[in-house]
Amino acid sequence: MPLRIKSKEEYDAGSGDFPTLEEDAYIFEIDRWEVRENQPSKYNPEGKGETVWFFNKPVAFADDPEADLLNSDGSPVHPDRTLVFFFDPTKMGTKPVVSKNRRWLYAVLDKPINEPLDLDFDDWGELYESLVGKRFVAGVLVDNGNNKIDNALIKPARQPKRRSRSSGQDLKAKAEEIFEGTPVDGDDDY
């Protein structure tokens, strides 16, 4: 069989059970978590320790929560679609850069990233369980036909602030107060 390299469209179509998401920023909701033993790798040749796998469902676009979520092929995102965030609680540092684990946890809890975090849990499992259902914003990348969370773009999923609209009467009263009752530019309007 001759050697064949996939086209960009074939890679973007993804491998696995679901088509890929477009590269964009999404609001994710934590669906569930599992603790898994580490496998040997280049950086951990003996496979020591454990990693917590958080399965996150995309629920909306970060910049347009009302838009329909679609895959890169235009089909609706399957309700079982998740992206995994690999969390290691032993790596929560800030130097030389803030670790992805710290950035993610603080974003999920909506806390300032450089502040200490005092958690009222007896063990990590209780904390992990309390995170189920919480939301955060993260970028999604397409890498070799698969989606992955962009660790550089993780932030809290804050509700958009809405301005309260003042009535015209309130504005007139404010203008009279500021300009001490004198008309602006000789007009009668304030």
- Per-residue confidence (pLDDT) for residue 85, from 0 to 100: 92
pLDDT, residue 183, reads 59
The DSSP line for 44-78 is -TT--SEEEEEEEEEEEESS-TTSPPBBTTSPBPP
- pLDDT tens-digit profile, the chain (190 residues): 577 776 766 655 555 567 888 889 999 999 999 999 988 889 889 988 889 999 999 999 999 888 888 888 888 888 888 999 999 888 888 888 888 999 999 999 999 888 888 888 988 899 999 999 999 999 999 888 888 888 888 989 875 555 555 555 677 777 777 777 665 555 555 4
Residue 50 belongs to some domain of the structure: yes
Residue 1, in any domain of the structure: no
Domain that holds residue 180: 162-190
> What are 90-93's contacts with CB under 8 Å, separation 24+?
90/49
Q: Do 100 and 172 lie in a common domain?
A: no
The verdict on 96 and 154 lying in the same domain is yes
Q: What is the pLDDT of residue 139?
A: 92
In a domain? residue 3: no
82 and 173: one domain?
no
Residue whose pair of structure tokens reads 């469902």 in the numeric block: 57
Same domain for 69 and 149: yes
Provide the pLDDT for residue 178.
Answer: 79
Question: How many folded domains does the chain comprise?
Answer: 2
- Residue 2 placed within a domain: no
